[in-house]
Structure 1
Amino acid sequence: MPGGGSLAGGGSSLFSGFRVLGLYSNHVPHALRYHQKHREFYLVTAIGKSLHTYNVNRLGIVAVSNSLSDDITCVAADRMLVFAAAGRVVSAFARNKEVVMCYHGHRQEVRLLLPLGDQLISADSGGDVIVWDVQGGDVYLRLHFDPNTFDVSAMMHPSTYLNKVLLGSSQGALQLWNIKTSKLLFTFPGWSSGVTCLQQVSHDGPPIVASGSPQGHIAFWDLERRQLVAQQRHAHSTAVAAATFLHGEPLLVTNGADNAIKVWIFDQEGGGARLLRSRQGHSAPPTTIHHHGNDGKNILSAGQDGTLQSFSTVHERFNKNLGHGQFSFKAKKKKGLSYEELRLPAITVFSSAAARQSDWDGIVACHRGRLATTTWNYQRCTMGAHHLQPPCPRREDIATAVDITSCGNFAVIGSSCGRVDVYNLQSGLHRGCYGDSQKAHSGAVRGVATDTLNQLTLTAGSDWLLKFWRFKTRKQEEQLKLNAAPASMILHRDSGMLALALDDFTLLVVDIETRRVVRKFAGHHGNINDMTFSPDGRWLVTVAMDCTIRTWDLPSGCLVDCFMVAMAPVGVSMSPTGDFLATAHIDSLGVYLWTNKSLCGPVGLRPLPTDYQPAVEVLPGVTADESEQAVTSEEADDAYESADQLGAELVTLSLLPESRWKCLLHLDDIKRKNKPVAPPVAAAAAPFFLPTVPGLTPQFTLPTATKQETQSKVLGWGLLSQRSEFSSALESALDSGSFDRPVRLLKDCGPAALSVELTCLTSEGGGASSLLLAFIYMIDSMLASGRDFDLAHAYLALFLKLHLHSLSQHAVAMAALIRLSTRLEAGWAELRASFDQSLCLLSYTKSALL
């Protein structure tokens, strides 16, 4: 709509937020709770405006709470609820998800919480300490302290002290209060140093206390000997937010602002601890992300913290931390080098290939301010053996671009001085450079790429040139003059389309076969940070500092999707399978996944005008893993009861063992096969055993008749009756129309007893012709309800085998059988249609994946 007003957008029509990867913890201390019913410890951490709950034995996320209005500043938990403070409001969460109560009354930001029975104590930065009634939300007591003389910095309830709370201050003094009578009981002068934490010594193990430092170290102290036992250095890369021992177990749980949760176990000699399990993401925002492999399940991410990590889109247990880059091992032996001095700077750009990753290193990375590039091994999750560096290096040169060939044998690396060098990844040897004067460009190299067959090498430099080289001979074939200096470059090898992001915020798409510019795109209002192609090469997705994510359609040359996010995206990568789009953002530690809607259904894409105003999309959050056990409060659980039948067109099986119904038609053969050679000998019954009736359900026999009863010649009516309990129930069901009881009785019978029951339905067996009709009606009701589908067919097959001759002489029974046959054919036709549809869909999916 050129010439018209700006068109407001309605969000993305192509992508929808799915989840975020790699967010686990922040500076807020965690809360630990024990669930009596599950017999398991759960860890609660705060991530922005929501709470994450993990089970400690696997560190799998089991619950994500609803978001609050502000960022959470402190967390606490008791046996029933989880409390979180956000701003001036304290919220209580039930089942770790829903907010069931809000406590309003603070005038400043709440920074401390302490559950105490039916009460909750909260302290804010203004000096107010409020005691709340948890159930009603009323203020039970309000205390005010002058922050200049007693700034409350820690709270603790001493065990066995009823209604007592110990308050610590940043000035160093401590006060013991009775919250029931609102009286100050005692004041401790302290040690002229601020109190940061209060913890009572537990008596379930050795008298060891753990303390965390702002540098990330954890020290273990012996309280009896009052000396340092052991120290875990660099347990976290930032300050330790909280450390909690698990009651009755030799485990310590810690979390920190470095986005890490760690569980330590004490099984080392000398009282030391080792890392048992952890969940760790980037401690500084990621800068570059790429999908690794062809299955689209792993995302490599390099962050400002200097680490290279792999996040799995399937499950967190498949995450990998390849660690920090370090200098050569010889540098480690030099004295005087600190832990930080051994680390390499952060990775600026990297390239990966899975073709030969089982044979040698498959990742090459460039570091900030360094000419030498490093190799990494994905399978071993370590830094590789090679530092790739050209001969005669200069101190001021820096590696700026890298690409690995599709075969995984070579790495092409560009530098700020204009060099483009080729290295062998197996040996790490230098194999040559491009250009006659050992320089491919007169300025810095901004991008390098190789085609699928290793025929061409493409380089782009700050001299506004795009050059085409023969890969093997390293001779220049052609060059293109660009409109501006390129900032980055990406090649879609399958289609041969090369995308360049220029410094004037425009995009160029070059066909490497014809070596001509085929598309020009303009619309971004900031530096283009990253680009990615869709697997089929139809779309080009770009992210820029204007906080927009744009999708360009190459065949039509139009912008087809555009949306805005709150934080500027710095990295983007589309899955090789096309199902997810991954983005990384400024000031965010996570990797965000967006679902491709076009794979789930038809998406109407239309060209967007140049003055299109995109709407803001909310970044996706964390989702709980469905495979983990959900944690709830210890109140009466709302247990879900499965319905008897899910739908009228579906059937439900009985879940009885196959031996109870599958062999009904072959009972004669089974009896003949199992007939003993010798007659069985009755075992001597022990005097303390009560006699039982043979059958599946144990039942004691009735007392034996007395001598007078056995000698009586008058027979009771019960001895003359031949009706079994099933026959009586079947006859009663014929009148009432409900056949639940006879079906239940047949389920309790074994194959032999069931055969006897069906045999006795005729008059020869003691029954009547009405029982045959009642049995047919019973099978008809089972098929109509859709329940016990397998038993209905098995019972009907045995019934027809036993009584088909008798039924053929009964007109009413034959009419009922004809109606039953019609129901059988209609039911099976519906099931067969469902089976065929499912098999068709499964075959199509498998063929599409292959």
Structure 2
Amino acid sequence: MPGGGSCLFSGFRVLGLYSNHVPHALRYHLKHREFYVVTSVGRSFHTFNVSRLGIVAVSNSLSDDISCLAADRMLVFAATGRIICAFARNKEVVKRYHGHRQEVRLLLPLGDQLISADSGGDVIVWDVQEADVYLRLTFDPNTFDVSAMMHPSTYLNKVLLGSSQGALQLWNIKTSKLLFTFPGWSAGVTVLQQSPAVDVVGVGTATGRIIIHNIRLNETLMSFTQDWGPISTLAFRTDGPPILASGSPQGHIAFWDLDRRQLVNQQRHAHRTAVSGASFLHGEPLLVTNGADNAIKVWIFDQDGGGARLLRCRQGHSAPPTTICHHGNDGKNILSAGQDGTLQSFSTVHERFNKNLGHGSINKKKEKKKKKGLSYAELRLPAITALASAVSRQSDWDGIVACHRGRLTATTWNYQRCTMGAHQLKPPGSRRDAVATAVDITSCGNFAVIGSSCGRVDVYNLQSGLHRGCFGDQETAHSGVVRGVATDMLNQLTLSCGSDWLLKFWRFKTRKQEEEVKLPAAAASLRLHRDSGMVAVALDDFTLLVVDMETRRVVRKFAGHHGNITDMTFSPDGRWLVTVAMDCTIRTWDLPSGCLVDCFLVATAPVGVSLSPTGDFLVTAHVDSLGVYLWSNRSLCGPVGLRPLPADYQPVEEVLPGFTAEEAEQEVTSEEADDAFQSAHQLGAELVTLSLLPESRWKSLLHLDTIKKRNKPVAPPAAPPTAPFFLPTVPGLTPRFELPVATKEDPQSKLLSFGWLAQRSDFSCALDSALQSGSFEQPLRLLKDCGPAAISVELTCLTSQGGGDNSLLLAFIHMIDSMLASGRDFNLAHAYLALFLQLHLHTVSQDAVVMAALLRLSSRLEAGWAELQASFNQSLCLLSYTKSALL
């Protein structure tokens, strides 16, 4: 039956990709006053700020790999195949240029024009804004194969072309005329670079020769010869000293003094592969380089003698990873060992937390002999094939143990110091042809258990690095190669499996065998979930067995892979077992039900898999891919219906996770559209926005009577009656003054009813007009300008008793409905509606038309609140999960 992809995992992002063989492009942002470097990483490109080498933008993916890059002040140009794409804001494609018949390999922005050259001999001048062909030049690749392009400074509408045959041609692209031909120097031109001096250019050749030539006088000023092969890149320093940097295919960089005309310094092994691009920052002693070794490096010239040192670097694996695993219990750090021999740690939070633990050294003493002629490669250990880590005692001693390809000695690594450890673990008296094949560290972090190809399983103390014994009576645990070892939570049992079709249980302290389980085929690998005591064993016949450590019995058997099972991992709760194989499938098995619940295909075969201890991310590494790929667990964000998949299930291919810029420090945009304000009117109807009015303008509308009663002033004390000039007295024995008689008010008021003489307010008139036009912007704006008391008066006057009529009630309901439909002023709409119903609910209930409109508004309110409630619940769920993970 046809599948629908993975229902459990979705692609999130990729870690550890920074650069490839495509030369970088350098940009300067006038408003930010900062340099940015753009590098290609396959089908998309990354933008980094040079000041911190932090990623600030990630482009959308193209249909094919990028072959060349170029950038100007506004756009970034990327060529993929025969198509050239122009990217705005370092992200989305805004223009496409079609016209080449072969693969584009050179790009050169020149003002409002773009010059491109392909492998078929066509050089096209494009109008950048219109994406039209302005000029097409055709060359015969057999006589003039364009291999380099450059625009000489101050040469208006001129472009200098270099060929692989060695000749150079200067063209006027406005008149389409060949101005001059330089015969060359009997070597193919690989690089053309403008120098700080006008009319002077640097020419790099395929023979390693560098020529500094004056194109106006057609005179060679000086030349240098590089001993490391062809010139891959050239860069002139512009901050004072006349220094020229040249790159080589071996990864070395040479620095030439143009005044003294000699080599002043060299940076050996600046990159592990060819130096793809090098650029000096204008007016600064900084050199930016990138290479196919997946590295971007910034060098600073502050050494004596004009030497450079590495200032900052972003570097991933230069060869595909071989094994991966999570380090620690928070799931934020991923250990990755590559075929390049390096051990690196990638952070899922931010790349500034990445660590490079470097290469292992065969012998520290031999490392001191490096200056005496020992080659650079002889000091390095081969690639890591098996890896184990523990964090319980990593502050005291080394917490990582690794096995290397073709070596019996295992190495220790210190995660906190980011270096190779102090010990090299090798069993005494073993065969010379033996190789360490499996490793595990106890939960306490004190011991390492290592299996070898000769059948030995040895125990080492990580604090001292001493050998503490081996399993088996004859110092041999298995009669074949040991494929996997593991220890339980309490250091009571040790498990080992090998090519002799046996799974053995050993007592850790006595190192005596307790029991063994006969397997139906040779074991390929072993994985233990310590909390549940479940052991997963992958066999050479592509099947899986799950063994319970308590009962020592096989409790589950899974079959379905059609290739060698390369790695497997348990979920934190021990409910799922995720396996990857060379058949390019990633399968998730449910242990309680014994069923396959999720399966999907990937483009390249996965070689490693690890599920984070918090269960939020699945991490995979793939053949011929330098990155580490993250897949998010959908079950943590919402309900996921997992059903058993049938035996004939046909999985669907999932695209490998791409790149996101969520951790971007800032977004680099064009100069004109920089920092564009996104107002509430531009957000769209799918979002809900609140008004910018203070709470006092809308929150107290339902309590105006209470506020007025509370704020009503107490009657002031009456002034004492003034005595008249003649003081009248009251007759009697005791003389008393007679007070004036108080006048009584007329209880009958002579005021006329307000409704007969009142005139309609501006709000009522605007509301009446809006009912006819359908636009309620004007009455809403008038209502926003009113205070709470004025709003109460305006709403009171909507009825006939206040000078209005029932049509104004209907218009007001339509205004609230338009506010809810647009999603703007969400709080004002509810506050105004609540006051309206408090004042006129009895009147509205007697009008059928107004009541029908109110019922329609009620349904819209319920639907809107349902969506908000779902969003609130999801956000609260994620917030509580994050708090629990941090605790």
- Deviations for 1:573-616, whole angstroms, at most 9, x for unmatched residues? 1111222211111111111122222223222322321x332222
Find the counterpart in structure 1 of residue 152 from structure 2.
158
Q: Which segment drifts farther, 309-318 or 195-204? A: 195-204
- Deviations for 1:4-34, whole angstroms, at most 9, x for unmatched residues? xxx3333222222222111111111111222
Maintained 8 Å contact 1:532/1:541: yes
TM-score (norm 2): 0.75
- Which SS does the other structure have where 2:554 is aligned? strand
- Flag the 1:111–1:488 CA change in 2: closer, same or farther, 3 A: same
- Alignment counterpart, residue 54 of structure 2, candidates 56, 59, 69: 59
- C-alpha distance in 1 between matches for 2:14 and 2:388: 23
Query: Do residues 603 (structure 1) and 641 (structure 2) align?
Result: yes
- Alignment counterpart, residue 296 of structure 1, candidates 314, 327, 331: 331
Query: How many matched pairs?
Result: 770
Runs of 4 or more above 4 Å deviation: 635-639, 644-648, 650-662, 728-749, 780-794, 828-849
- Flag the 1:385–1:66 CA change in 2: closer, same or farther, 3 A: same
Maintained 8 Å contact 2:387/2:400: yes
Maintained 8 Å contact 1:24/1:280: yes
- Flag the 1:120–1:547 CA change in 2: closer, same or farther, 3 A: same
- Deviations for 1:473-523, whole angstroms, at most 9, x for unmatched residues? 111101111111111110111111111111111111111110011111222
Maintained 8 Å contact 2:397/2:463: yes
Q: C-alpha displacement at 1:251, in angstroms?
A: 2.1
Show the 5 A alignment for 1:48-447.
48-57=42-51, 58-68=53-63, 70-95=64-89, 96-106=91-101, 108-134=102-128, 135-147=130-142, 149-202=143-196, 204-206=238-240, 207-334=242-369, 336=372, 337-447=374-484
- Which SS does the other structure have where 1:282 is aligned? coil
Maintained 8 Å contact 2:139/2:145: no
- Which SS does the other structure have where 2:631 is aligned? strand
Amino acid at match of 1:329: K
Amino acid at match of 2:57: V
- Flag the 1:141–1:382 CA change in 2: closer, same or farther, 3 A: same
TM-score (norm 1): 0.78
Amino acid at match of 1:305: D
Q: C-alpha displacement at 1:129, in angstroms?
A: 2.2
- Flag the 1:453–1:331 CA change in 2: closer, same or farther, 3 A: same
- C-alpha distance in 2 between matches for 1:404 and 1:307: 20
- C-alpha distance in 1 between matches for 2:497 and 2:188: 58
- Which SS does the other structure have where 2:189 is aligned? coil
- C-alpha distance in 2 between matches for 1:730 and 1:418: 91
Amino acid at match of 2:158: K
- C-alpha distance in 2 between matches for 1:436 and 1:41: 66
- Flag the 1:367–1:143 CA change in 2: closer, same or farther, 3 A: same
Unaligned regions of 5+ residues in structure 1, if any? 1-6, 667-727, 759-768, 771-779, 795-811, 813-827
Amino acid at match of 2:304: E
- Flag the 1:153–1:462 CA change in 2: closer, same or farther, 3 A: same
Find the counterpart in structure 2 of residue 515 from structure 1.
552
Find the counterpart in structure 2 of residue 533 from structure 1.
570
Amino acid at match of 2:678: Y
- Flag the 1:831–1:509 CA change in 2: closer, same or farther, 3 A: closer
- Which SS does the other structure have where 1:341 is aligned? helix
Q: C-alpha displacement at 1:383, in angstroms?
A: 1.3
- Flag the 1:156–1:547 CA change in 2: closer, same or farther, 3 A: same
Find the counterpart in structure 2 of residue 494 from structure 1.
531
Q: C-alpha displacement at 1:524, in angstroms?
A: 1.6
Q: C-alpha displacement at 1:561, in angstroms?
A: 1.9
Find the counterpart in structure 2 of residue 671 from structure 1.
none
- Deviations for 1:57-81, whole angstroms, at most 9, x for unmatched residues? 343141212313x322111122232
- Deviations for 1:105-140, whole angstroms, at most 9, x for unmatched residues? 33x322111122222222222333222333242251
- Alignment counterpart, residue 505 of structure 2, candidates 468, 485, 494: 468
Maintained 8 Å contact 1:442/1:463: yes
- Deviations for 1:808-828, whole angstroms, at most 9, x for unmatched residues? xxxx9xxxxxxxxxxxxxxx9
- C-alpha distance in 2 between matches for 1:62 and 1:162: 33
Q: C-alpha displacement at 1:564, in angstroms?
A: 1.6
- Which SS does the other structure have where 1:510 is aligned? strand
Amino acid at match of 1:98: V
- C-alpha distance in 1 between matches for 2:881 and 2:532: 20
Q: C-alpha displacement at 1:454, in angstroms?
A: 0.8
Q: C-alpha displacement at 1:238, in angstroms?
A: 0.6
Show the 5 A alignment for 1:6-45.
7-45=1-39
Amino acid at match of 2:151: H
Show the 5 A alignment for 1:797-808.
none
- Which SS does the other structure have where 1:333 is aligned? helix
Query: Do residues 564 (structure 1) and 595 (structure 2) align?
Result: no
- Flag the 1:152–1:652 CA change in 2: closer, same or farther, 3 A: closer
- C-alpha distance in 1 between matches for 2:872 and 2:177: 75
- Which SS does the other structure have where 2:190 is aligned? coil
Q: C-alpha displacement at 1:788, in angstroms?
A: 9.0
- Which SS does the other structure have where 1:198 is aligned? strand
- C-alpha distance in 2 between matches for 1:116 and 1:93: 16
Q: C-alpha displacement at 1:642, in angstroms?
A: 2.2
- C-alpha distance in 2 between matches for 1:845 and 1:170: 59
Maintained 8 Å contact 1:90/1:104: no
- C-alpha distance in 2 between matches for 1:157 and 1:652: 51
- Which SS does the other structure have where 1:332 is aligned? helix
- Which SS does the other structure have where 2:306 is aligned? coil
- C-alpha distance in 2 between matches for 1:442 and 1:450: 20
Query: Do residues 641 (structure 1) and 648 (structure 2) align?
Result: no
Maintained 8 Å contact 1:346/1:368: yes
- Deviations for 1:182-203, whole angstroms, at most 9, x for unmatched residues? 3332222333332211111136
- Which SS does the other structure have where 1:613 is aligned? coil
- C-alpha distance in 2 between matches for 1:789 and 1:80: 38
- C-alpha distance in 1 between matches for 2:768 and 2:81: 69
- Alignment counterpart, residue 630 of structure 2, candidates 593, 601, 605: 593
- C-alpha distance in 2 between matches for 1:27 and 1:740: 56
Maintained 8 Å contact 2:100/2:122: no
Unaligned regions of 5+ residues in structure 2, if any? 198-237, 708-760, 792-801, 804-812, 832-842, 844-860
Q: C-alpha displacement at 1:651, in angstroms?
A: 9.2
- C-alpha distance in 1 between matches for 2:587 and 2:379: 40
Maintained 8 Å contact 2:44/2:58: no
- Flag the 1:173–1:332 CA change in 2: closer, same or farther, 3 A: same
Q: C-alpha displacement at 1:742, in angstroms?
A: 13
Q: Which segment drifts farther, 136-145 or 581-590? A: 136-145
- C-alpha distance in 2 between matches for 1:15 and 1:388: 39
Q: Which segment drifts farther, 554-563 or 342-351? A: 554-563
Amino acid at match of 1:129: V
- C-alpha distance in 2 between matches for 1:513 and 1:361: 31
Amino acid at match of 1:333: K
